[in-house]
């Protein structure tokens, strides 16, 4: 398989209503790193930052992500301090969907991470699917 570009990768998400887009992000991230750590957003943080409570509870979302073969370790993401997570886990690549590229928050993260030798890697977003789209479909039925 050859050597991976990064040693330790990190990505985060709520991973509510797990779907193919989530799987694609995890697979694409793991293709580029030897060890993939996934931060699963806590119910509390999700409610605070997105003003909506996940449909699938935190413990079950963690269990789902732990069962995905591309994931080496799951941690809870209880705050938005991504730099602290990068430092604490020795991460050298943070993976995020390409839909975040160029946003003010991710331009700032790129600069912060660069100062500790970590790169932001934007992965292609899977079009036509998201937990929000699934929620909307469920609400219509």
Nearest to 23 by CA among 126, 132, 120: 126
DSSP string, 107-135: HHHHHHHHTTT-EEEEE---TT--HHHHH
Nearest to 110 by CA among 119, 101, 102: 119
Residue 50 designated active-site: yes
Residues 6 or more apart whose Cβ sits within 8 Å of residue 3: none
Of 50, 73, 101, 119, catalytic: 50
Strands 33-41 and 73-77: parallel
Residue 30 designated active-site: no
Of 7, 48, 52, 87, catalytic: 52
Known catalytic residues are: 50, 52
């Amino acid at each position: 398989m050859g050597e991976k570009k990064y040693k330790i990768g990190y990505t985060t998400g709520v991973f509510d209503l797990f779907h193919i887009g989530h799987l694609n992000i995890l697979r694409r991230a793991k293709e580029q790193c030897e060890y993939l750590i996934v931060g699963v957003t806590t119910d509390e943080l999700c409610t605070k930052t997105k003003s909506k409570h996940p449909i699938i509870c935190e413990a079950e979302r963690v269990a789902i992500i732990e069962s995905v073969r591309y994931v080496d370790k799951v941690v809870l993401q209880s705050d938005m301090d991504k730099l602290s997570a990068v430092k604490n886990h020795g991460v050298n690549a943070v993976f995020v969907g390409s839909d975040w590229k160029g946003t003010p928050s991710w331009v700032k993260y790129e600069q912060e991470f660069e100062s500790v030798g970590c790169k932001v890697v934007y992965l292609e977003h899977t079009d036509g699917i998201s937990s929000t789209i699934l929620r909307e479909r469920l609400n219509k039925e």
